[in-house]
Amino acid sequence: MRTVLISGAGVAGLTAAYWLRRRGFAPTVVERAPALRPGGQALDVRGVALDVLERMDLLAEARALRTRMRGMSMVDGEGNEQWRSTEVALSSGRLDGGDIELLRDDLTALLYERARDGAEFVFGDHLTALTLDEHGAHAEFAHGAPRTFDLVVGADGLRSATRRLAFGPEGGFLHPLGQHVAVFSSDNFLKLEDWQVWMQHEGAGYCVYPARGNAELRTTIGFTAEGPEEYDHRDTDAQKALLAARLGHLGGDVPRLLEAMREAPDFFFDVMAQVRMESWVTDRAALVGDAGYCPSPLSGQGSSLALVGAYVLADELGKAPEGGQGAALARYDARMRPFVALNQALATENPGHGPSEESMERAKNAIDLGPLS
């Protein structure tokens, strides 16, 4: 069996592990965290990505775990309600639609259960060096012994180490969109019941909604910035201080949210950005999901691109004859390009309001998965 190293146990990496194993590969998944990462925002699965879940026999389970919002409110910087809707929630679109919104950790748990029996998982480790040549992908790790694989797949997100090692520094690929956001969990101290609250005020904002039967809150909070912000993307204390400085003047629920942020066990902060590259593949390496073509959360399509990209990568590699790996990777790149371009365009179509329903419908179905084999 051909061996493949998958860096990252998120949506893209877990989906790739399942489909590559099904296509006859022996996958090894390495993940920096000691276990599946907890927390994260609610993710949308739309269009053809729903077909990927169905082909994994996960669609019914995913639908059972979907969020159940009744609607949303928009408030100003002092917490005064400006308008409300029982038809649309900004995080997930129309409430009567067929798309699915579910928590990130629920989706990754489903994918892990599908992938774990056919793949080797190494938690608490990560790539530190990578050499690609005609003999294979030679990987070195922070803790484990060096190993050689036939192929390496980077599924390690916006700040992908695999991309840096195989394709070069991130500066040429990362394109900030002028916003910085944090995501974290807390107790439902706002007592929300299946209801989202959004705030937008002079370049700052948040979205907060209940989860786990209204027992938890998931908060996304951030600010706009014209230029780059100087911070270490692994220094969470500095990131929390930056957010408090930028939003501390606001009223309403903002002070309580900032206090909850300081105690959050699963805090995550980064710039809103897209990854744009001329190629996502070499003869021995491929990028999938945010590592190769992050559309940013502003598009609402990051998880769908990850699911579809992992499926298409495995599909092309599985159809390749012996010695045809390079051509298969090139076909994956070419097949995904139009789909990625349409979905990345959603992030910049209508700033402050999100993409139109027409653009979303066109983008989310703009690829043919082909027959299941």
pLDDT tens digits along 35-61: 999 888 899 999 999 999 999 999 999
Nearest in space to 75 (alpha carbons), one of 183, 200, 214: 200
Q: Taking every pair of C-alpha atoms in the chain, what is the biggest distance, in angstroms?
A: 64
Task: Label residue 88 by pLDDT band (50, 70, 90).
Answer: confident
Superfamily (CATH H level) for 2-67+102-173+274-364: FAD/NAD(P)-binding domain (3.50.50.60)
Provide the pLDDT for residue 309. 98
In the chain, domain spans: 2-67+102-173+274-364, 179-273
Encode pLDDT of 186-202 as tens digits.
999 999 999 999 999 99
pLDDT surpasses 90 at 87: no
Pick from 223, 194, 222, 218: nearest CA to 208? 218
Amino acid 94: pLDDT: 73
- Between residues 167 and 356, which one has the greater pLDDT? 167
| Residues in CB range of 81: below 8 A, 6 or more apart | 73, 74, 75
Confidence of residue 352 (pLDDT cuts 50, 70, 90): low
Name the band, by pLDDT with cuts 50, 70 and 90, for residue 354. low
pLDDT at 233 exceeding the cut of 80: no
Give the gyration radius of the chain's Cα atoms.
Answer: 20
Helices (H) and strands (E) in the chain, counts: 11, 19
Give me the architecture of the 179-273 domain, per CATH. Answer: 2-Layer Sandwich (3.30)
pLDDT digits (tens, 9 = 90+) for 267-280: 999 889 999 999 99
| Residue 104 binned pLDDT confidence (cut-offs 50, 70, 90) | very high
Answer whether residue 177 shows pLDDT above 80.
Answer: yes
Express as a percent the part of the chain with pLDDT over 90. Answer: 81
Q: What is the pLDDT of residue 171?
A: 82
Q: Which amino acid is at 152?
A: V
Q: How far is CA 362 from CA 49, 190, 216, 296, in A?
A: 13, 37, 34, 18
Nearest to 172 by CA among 286, 278, 269, 297: 278
